[in-house]
Amino acid sequence: MDEFQAVLKARELVKKVNPATIPVPVELYAQEVGAVIPPQSDMSPDEAGYCFENKGKRFICTNANDSPERQRFTVCHEAAHLRLGLPSQHTNLPWWSYAKRPLAEILCDVFAAELLLPYDLFHPEAEKASIGLSSIDNLAECFAASVTATGYHGAGPSFYRDQSAERKVEGRNCRSLLTTFLGICTLNR
């Protein structure tokens, strides 16, 4: 599986759930993958969450001490593990390093971003936004997502409009916003 396939699988789930509100209700995604979400207040600060099955029931546990945006992302990330059947490889991960993360974790992040920022809801809002970092901040707040997830969402395969292998990228304004975001991130290294 590659990132494009993960996006397509996420879009299948989005289509099935059919969220109509912003921010999208992530509980519906958990419900669709057959999971309940018991927040855990005893998790370490560096642990965002995990999923497991017990006696035929699925659970997505989130760190109750994390921000609501982080918990929302975790629900979607763990829903990806359940939906895609990818192994959880969270132990000792450098969360800050994309290159050092296992492929399964990257694919689950891509899947999660697509659930939080579904193309049909996110793209029109991004197209209306002015070009600048404040627009990414505003979109992140609107979708109850992190600035990082919002910024990178439009730069990767999640912004492919159609589900063909052509992988057409749409949205001049979105690309401009993301180019600005990625340029600033590079400068701040």
Give the pLDDT score at 38: 87
pTM passes above 0.95? no
Give CA–CA dist 163/166, Å, rounded. 8
Instruction: Give percent of the chain with pLDDT exceeding 70.
Output: 75
- Higher pLDDT pick, 67 / 130: 67
pLDDT digits (tens, 9 = 90+) for 2-42: 888 999 999 999 999 999 999 999 999 999 999 999 878 89
Give the pLDDT score at 163: 41
Q: Give the Å distances, CA to CA, from 67 to 45, 83, 150, 159.
A: 11, 24, 16, 26
How does the average pLDDT of the chain come out, rounded? Answer: 79
Phi-psi region of 102 (alpha: psi -120 to 50; beta: other; left: phi over 0): beta
Give the pLDDT score at 91: 65
pLDDT digits (tens, 9 = 90+) for 153-173: 655 444 444 443 333 334 444
pLDDT digits (tens, 9 = 90+) for 76-104: 999 999 999 988 876 655 555 566 678 88
